[in-house]
């Protein structure tokens, strides 16, 4: 229970930090990286459950950080990454990680995408091993040590 309480606290803190910086992140690379991360977390176990996809889509539509983007555009990007992952998980994963990797030279935006992944992964109360692995892969893609996020 202590881990879950710690995760909830960190998640709340991350969301507050992201909301403060949201206006700085209004660009195509951040939008694409965010949706790639959301899809990676939704598909972390190798498949995308329609209920999990719908729940993640709901998060995307209501998250204050992502509110700087038109929700329909984000939904379209998220669905596109989900379809890539559903069609061929390994190829889709490579494409999603490459998209996130485009933020390598924008460390604040890269950290924000990583934080979104952690928030989504922990939203159900179970930030499992595969979800952590997906976030670690994203950390590697942007050159940020996973240890910075206790991964």
Residue 142's CATH number: 1.10.3680
Higher pLDDT, 105 or 22: 105
- Helical H segments across 25-106, by residue range: 28-42, 50-62, 71-87, 89-101
Which range of residues forms the domain containing residue 121? 2-149
CA-only gyration radius of the chain, Å: 14
How many structural domains does the chain have?
Answer: 1
Residue 62 structure tokens: 């209501």
Q: What is the pLDDT of residues 69-119, one digit of tens each?
A: 999 999 999 999 999 999 999 999 999 999 999 999 999 899 999 998 998
* 70, 35 contact by CB (below 8 A): no
| Residue 77 CA, distance from chain mean position | 13
In this prediction, residue 24 carries a pLDDT of 64
Position 96 scores a pLDDT of 97
pTM above 0.85, yes or no: no
């Amino acid at each position: 229970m202590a881990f879950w309480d710690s995760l909830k606290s960190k998640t709340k803190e991350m969301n507050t930090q992201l909301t403060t910086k949201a206006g700085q992140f209004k660009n195509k690379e951040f939008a694409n990286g965010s949706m790639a991360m959301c899809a990676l977390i939704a598909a972390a176990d190798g498949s995308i459950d329609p209920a999990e996809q719908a729940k993640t889509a709901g998060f995307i539509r209501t998250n204050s950080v992502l509110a700087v983007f038109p929700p329909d555009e984000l939904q379209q990007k998220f669905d596109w990454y989900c379809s890539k992952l559903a069609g061929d998980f390994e190829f889709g994963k490579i494409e999603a990680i490459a998209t996130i990797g485009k933020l390598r030279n924008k460390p604040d935006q890269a950290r924000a995408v990583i934080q979104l992944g952690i928030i989504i992964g922990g939203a159900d109360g179970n930030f499992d091993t595969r979800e952590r692995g997906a976030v670690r892969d994203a950390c590697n893609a942007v050159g940020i040590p996973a240890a910075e996020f206790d991964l």
